[in-house]
A and B are shown apart, each in its own frame.
Chain A
Amino acid sequence: MAKQLSRREMLKLMAAGSAAVVGSPLMNAVAESAGKPPAQDVIEISYWQAPIWRLGKDVKTVLGPGSDEWILDAIARFEAENAGIKVNMELIPWDQWSQKLATAFASGDLPNVLYSNLAADRVQAGLFEPVDDYVTQEMNDDWLPGMRESLTMFGRLYAVPAFPSADMAALSKTALESHGGAGIFEAIGEDRGGLTFDVMEEYGKEFGDGATRFFFGVPTDHGSVVYWMYGAWLNGWGVKSWSDDEERWIVHEQDAAVEAFQWLVDAQNESKVLIPNLPKWSDVDTFYWSQNCVMRYHWPSIEVELAVAQEAGQAVTPFEIVLTAYPHTEEVGPFHTNQPPGHYTICREPDTAKREAAFKWAFWLGNDTSNTLSWVADVGVFPVNKSGVAAIADSEIMQNPNKRWVVDTYLQKFPGGFAGGNWQPLNNARTAKIWNQLDPWNWYIQELQSLLLGQKLPLEMLEEMAARINGALGTA
């Protein structure tokens, strides 16, 4: 006869079961560590990275967005050179990047090395370690002018520069030659600094048909609206976004800002040089790759993206891109956006050995000349130091006219625009915190949509934005 379980026996059984569930991973861990040699000589560091590489480790084979082949190879090379350090990378897809960082910043549970994300409020909250102590005179002297200064806050260097984050306008030469408007290249001049709003309109009308072909594409579903349409676009009209102490948003106080946004509305409705109907990023991609749009804002990595699109049969071949300075008025003249360079932050870490190892990895990745060619070819960005520039000066890729123009003209001859790309309160911790809590990455997009939909006039939009931002800051 089956024995009935008593209550006590049942509770014992449940307790034993629960203990087994909880204890088994612990026992596994103990067993695993017992079988290994002592690990005190190896310093393990965690490293979070967005998938910015698209090519294989040969820096030629097209593998597509999110490829990890190159970075895995780089980690292996670094670990071979630095036997005492192990890099544990987490390559986080772009669609999970913001959620991952949001929860990590909220909890303060961050990796040792983090791609990008330096901000004054985060520095003030003690999330990042200053790295000045690890920077030697030699490193310092090797960095290109402005790199160190852009990442210095409250008098200390808080990130390791990895690449100048140049963004610009990209014209499709092939499309202009096919459908009209190629005269624009003569109009903007040899230094590619003559792209004014009037030039855009004139050649835009020549290229477009107002129904299927449009000169300019602005992705209206993407966070890039914040830094391109409220940063670079306004900069081109001479509109400064923040007061000097960054305690106020001042765009609405400048007549040129109204003019800047009215130009966009008219470009959509009147001259029809702007893609209408609130195109998404993917729509602008489709227009651009199929030669139905010739200008967009982008990073120089657009040439790598073109290779990926051609490989996938999404872009026509041949396809020639000409990078130029952002559009601007005659008075403002050509400028580069003055964005802080791409960088790595070293997150709060009590263990000094780990901190040092983290810096070593971050510096090696962005500054070692063995990696320079990859950054240029694979990611489309440029060296952060003089030795990097020299290392690739004679390489095949640097014979590309766009690359040469960025290095020789855009970054060196054109002045920088308003600080921080003209969109973010870069150096004021209080303002940065409050502004971020206003959800600009969604809200700015919706405001631009309202404008292009005709729901609001430019001044109405700007005053509404000012009331919300400055109201939250207490400086309305």
Chain B
Amino acid sequence: MAQSKTPYSMAADVQQVRSRREPPTPLGRIRDEIRRSNKWAYLFITPLLLDFLIFTVYMVISVVALAFQEIYYGQSEWVGLRHFEWIFKDPQFWNAMKNTLIYTIIVVPGGILLALILSEFIFRRSQRVQVFYKSAYYLPSVVSTAILALVWSWIYNPFYGILNFFLSIFGVEPVSWLTNPKNAMLSIILMSIISGVGVSVVFLTAAMGGIPPELHDAAKIDGAGNWARFWSVTVPLLRPTLLYLFVVGFISNFQVFEQIYIMTQGGPGYPGATETVGYLIYSSAFTSLNLGLAAAQSVVLFFAILVFSVIQFRVFASEVEY
């Protein structure tokens, strides 16, 4: 029997291969992914996935919905953009946003800079000394911020604080660390930098360990001194770690709450010298029972963090080699 010959079509071949390789629909892609991957993995990630869906995704959606409602004594009413209108003309909110920015802009780079300096010194020491210093700097990180804030409140106490006691030895008059609006934010910033430096030190020393020693040797042969090697070899190669510390630090510090709540309650004075957006959200929700307003403030804070995080990625990430 004679075989009927159809003319060869390259386009049909390509189409056939593509249809085999690329599932046509998103559902098909998911099916393909399940077929291809280890099925047990899905079982193991299910608990965390449920946790994420319930306690993160659902909560975020609820907060956004809440921002457009007035919740009062178990009843809710849709109020549209009313809370946002209030926020955008509320001087207390913008004062809190300003304080939050000042806090974050000083704490994050300041903390990382201090950690970088400390890491450089620690990394040059023997293994045993390194372990000692890393543990010592990391120790405050395992203590809750609430406890740290309490201890620092005692240190800063204008009447009985140890800091003023030491200063008095040198004839310095007692300083109002937390009760003078000019000093209060700086005092909290100092506490946050000192207490939080340990985490960055651990990250940076670990990253320094990953830098090939040959690079330093080559620089040495080229006549580079300690400073030149640090600035031109170590720091550039730490960029991925520094970017991570910047972004994560920015996100967490933008939500600062505990130290403000314990040390100053947003004060001193009105508008509060240390009132941050995180603290204002707490006050709106839990002292004035205005959950809708608190949710709207949270949404604005979320977008502020998002914008700043995107900017950081744009500015730093282009030069980072992973």
Which residues of A pack against B, CB within 8 Å? 5, 7, 10, 13-14, 17-18, 98-99, 102-103, 105-109, 121-122, 125-127, 220-221, 277-279, 283, 286-287, 433, 436-443, 445-447, 449-450, 453, 455, 464
Q: How far is the CB of B293 from chain A (nearest CB, A)?
A: 8
Residues of chain B lying within 8 A (CB to CB) of residue A126: 73
Residues of chain B lying within 8 A (CB to CB) of residue A99: 286
Expressed in whole angstroms, the Cα–Cα distance for A10 and B41 within the complex equals: 10
Nearest B residue (CB) for A127: B73
Residues of chain B lying within 8 A (CB to CB) of residue A437: 288-290, 293
Q: How far is the CB of A127 from chain B (nearest CB, A)?
A: 6
Interface residues of B in 279-293 (CB under 8 A from A): 283-291, 293
The 9 closest A-B pairs by CB, nearest first: A108-B74, A446-B270, A439-B288, A125-B73, A278-B179, A450-B269, A449-B268, A102-B286, A10-B39
Expressed in whole angstroms, the Cα–Cα distance for A133 and B124 within the complex equals: 81
A sample of 11 cross-chain residue pairs with beta-carbon separation below 8 angstroms, ordered by A number, consists of: A7-B39, A102-B286, A278-B268, A433-B72, A446-B271, A447-B270, A449-B269, A450-B268, A450-B270, A453-B181, A455-B269
Residues of chain A lying within 8 A (CB to CB) of residue B39: 5, 7, 10
- The segment from B19-27, B152-160, B193-201 found at the interface with A is B152-160
Expressed in whole angstroms, the Cα–Cα distance for A7 and B39 within the complex equals: 7
CB-based contact A441/B287 at 8 Å = yes
Residues of chain A lying within 8 A (CB to CB) of residue B269: 446, 449-450, 453, 455
**Which of A7, A433, A442, A447 has the largest number of chain B CB atoms within 10 A?**
A442
CB-based contact A442/B289 at 8 Å = no
Nearest A residue (CB) for B289: A102
CB-based contact B284/A439 at 8 Å = yes
CB-based contact A106/B72 at 8 Å = yes
CB-based contact A286/B74 at 8 Å = no
Residues of chain A lying within 8 A (CB to CB) of residue B291: 106
Given A125-B72, A445-B267, A446-B272, A286 and B160 contact (CB-CB distance below 8 Å): yes
Expressed in whole angstroms, the Cα–Cα distance for A121 and B290 within the complex equals: 14
Residues of chain A lying within 8 A (CB to CB) of residue B35: 7
Given A102-B286, A441-B287, A14 and B42 contact (CB-CB distance below 8 Å): yes
Q: How far is the CB of A128 from chain B (nearest CB, A)?
A: 10
Interface residues of B in 146-188 (CB under 8 A from A): 157-160, 174, 176, 179-181
Number of interface residues, chain B, beta carbon within 8 A? 40
Expressed in whole angstroms, the Cα–Cα distance for A443 and B284 within the complex equals: 11
Nearest A residue (CB) for B290: A437
Expressed in whole angstroms, the Cα–Cα distance for A122 and B72 within the complex equals: 9
Q: How far is the CB of B172 from chain A (nearest CB, A)?
A: 15
CB-based contact A125/B43 at 8 Å = no
CB-based contact A453/B180 at 8 Å = yes
Expressed in whole angstroms, the Cα–Cα distance for A221 and B269 within the complex equals: 11
Residues of chain A lying within 8 A (CB to CB) of residue B179: 277-278, 449, 453
Q: How far is the CB of A129 from chain B (nearest CB, A)?
A: 14
Expressed in whole angstroms, the Cα–Cα distance for A10 and B35 within the complex equals: 11
Partner of B265, one of A5, A283, A445: A445
Interface residues of B in 47-66 (CB under 8 A from A): none
Residues of chain A lying within 8 A (CB to CB) of residue B180: 453
CB-based contact B288/A286 at 8 Å = no
Nearest B residue (CB) for A433: B72
Given A277-B179, A279-B159, A442-B283, A436 and B288 contact (CB-CB distance below 8 Å): yes
Expressed in whole angstroms, the Cα–Cα distance for A220 and B180 within the complex equals: 13
Q: How far is the CB of B282 from chain A (nearest CB, A)?
A: 9
CB-based contact B270/A14 at 8 Å = no
Residues of chain A lying within 8 A (CB to CB) of residue B272: 446
CB-based contact B34/A7 at 8 Å = yes
CB-based contact B73/A449 at 8 Å = no
CB-based contact A446/B268 at 8 Å = yes
Nearest B residue (CB) for A453: B269
Residues of chain B lying within 8 A (CB to CB) of residue A98: 286-287
CB-based contact B40/A14 at 8 Å = no
Q: Does B75 contact A (CB under 8 A)?
A: yes
CB-based contact A277/B158 at 8 Å = yes
Nearest B residue (CB) for A447: B270
Task: Given contacts A283-B159, A464-B270, list 14 more A-B pairs with CB under 8 A.
Answer: A105-B289, A106-B73, A125-B75, A127-B74, A278-B267, A286-B160, A439-B283, A439-B284, A440-B288, A442-B283, A443-B270, A446-B269, A450-B268, A455-B269
Expressed in whole angstroms, the Cα–Cα distance for A455 and B160 within the complex equals: 25
CB-based contact A108/B75 at 8 Å = yes
Partner of A446, one of B267, B284, B290: B267
Q: How far is the CB of B107 from chain A (nearest CB, A)?
A: 23
Nearest A residue (CB) for B264: A221
What does the 1/0 interface line of B70-85 toward A look like (CB < 8 Å)?
Answer: 0111110000000000
Nearest A residue (CB) for B288: A439
